Amino acid sequence: MSKVKVGVIGCGNISSIYFQAGQTFANFEIAACADLNLERAQACAEQFQIPKACTVEQLLADPDIQLIINLTIPASHADIHLRALEAGKHTYGEKPLAVELEDGRRILSLAKEKNLLVGAAPDTFLGGGIQTCRKLIDDGWIGEPIAATAFMMYHGPEKFHPNPDFLYQKGAGPMFDMGPYYLTALINLIGPVCRVTGAARTTFKERMVRNETNYGRRFPVETPTHIAGILEFENGAVGTIVTSFDVWGTRVPHIEIHGTTGSLIVPDPNHFGGPIYIKRQDYTEFIEVPLTHGFTTNSRGLGVMDMANAILHGGGHRANGELAYHVLEIMHGFHFAANEGKHYEIKSTCSKPAPLNMNLLKNGMANGYTI
């Protein structure tokens, strides 16, 4: 079968799982990798048997590369997306799509002009956990969704990340770093958002690296680290989300969806699987629900697989640019509301992603390519 030739830009912490994905899924292959540090790219190429390690400029100029996977830091996401599109290549990146809304609009506009596809993480909502929840909701197990809660709370990445500074800069923080997982899952389960409000604070003006690599090094905090938001969905449901790097511990569920006839406990949207519990109006307690879909372990690259299918066979893909931009505007809306003390009307919208085929194989193949 045909395969989409992929080039990876950015060979940092997250890149290894994407290199593994290139050896797992049947419809794309990673043919080259690039990094500002060429030695790092060469090391990754050797470790994962990537045919070519090169500079960013060389990769973008390679006529054989059809799709760029953009794994740079958030501040560089927009630049690489735009350069890839200018080079005539489809582009898929880590979250968020961009730091600024204006850059997000430029990316979507250029992609439309060039007739190219844009995609962005997270793709965890395509995993067995969230897809099973989607099927339960679509099949009417909790009735009409009327409310949702989402919580992402811990004390920050400095305990495990060797260089966490960028996660406390503009365009990061708990909302921009982890919010996309939760917001994308909510949009997949309920639909797009029309209005938000929120409050935010920056608790510590300085943080300290707490892992073995750079223990004790201090760095400044440039973005809010505890954000509480309210979402009004287009279908009338109301949601609550809290993202925080200031909390030492919590027992709240990651996501709950409440409907007119039942409630659903959704697994961690940062993962592909996890337990699911449901309580219908005639149940005395929550019961665990078996997963209906595959891809329950770390399957990052599912979004690339889905996008490669669209490149090869036409049609849309689920982790698309419109969804990523809608999530980006929602996150900006929370910060705007916190700063201005008012609601923010969401100007963008997106289609609710189509559910994934239950019979999708581990290599991303399905009968008749109906993914």
List the pLDDT tens digit at each of the 371 positions of the chain.
Answer: 689 999 999 999 899 999 999 889 999 999 999 999 999 999 999 999 999 999 999 999 999 999 999 999 999 999 999 999 999 999 999 999 999 999 999 999 999 999 999 999 999 999 999 999 999 999 999 999 999 999 999 999 999 888 899 999 988 899 999 999 999 999 999 999 999 999 999 999 999 999 888 899 999 999 999 999 999 999 999 999 999 999 999 999 999 999 999 999 999 999 999 999 999 999 999 999 999 999 999 999 999 999 999 999 999 999 999 999 999 999 999 999 999 999 999 999 999 999 998 887 666 655 444 45
pLDDT score of 161: 86
Q: Identify which of 103, 134, 19 has the alpha carbon closest to the alpha carbon of residue 332.
A: 103
Q: Token digits for 214?
A: 């750079």
Domain 125-289: what homologous superfamily? Dihydrodipicolinate Reductase; domain 2 (3.30.360.10)
The reported pLDDT for the residue numbered 369 is 43
Residue ranges, CATH 3.40.50.720, the chain: 4-120
pLDDT at 360: 75
Please list the residue range(s) of the chain that carry CATH number 3.30.360.10: 125-289
Q: What is the pTM of this model?
A: 0.95
Find the helix or strand (DSSP H, E) in which 40 lies: helix 38-47
Task: Name the residue among 98, 91, 80 with its Cα closest to residue 116.
Answer: 91
Q: How far is CA 365 from CA 11, 119, 307, 358, 368, in A?
A: 27, 19, 13, 11, 9
Name residues whose C-beta falls within 8 Å of residue 114's C-beta, 6 or more positions apart in sequence.
Answer: 85, 86, 88
- pLDDT number for residue 341: 95
* C-alpha to C-alpha distance for 271 and 281, rounded to whole angstroms: 28
Class of the CATH domain delimited by 4-120: alpha beta
Indicate the angle between helix axes 321-340 and 173-189, nearest 10 degrees.
Answer: 120
Q: What is the pLDDT of residue 362?
A: 61
Pick from 358, 367, 360: nearest CA to 305: 360
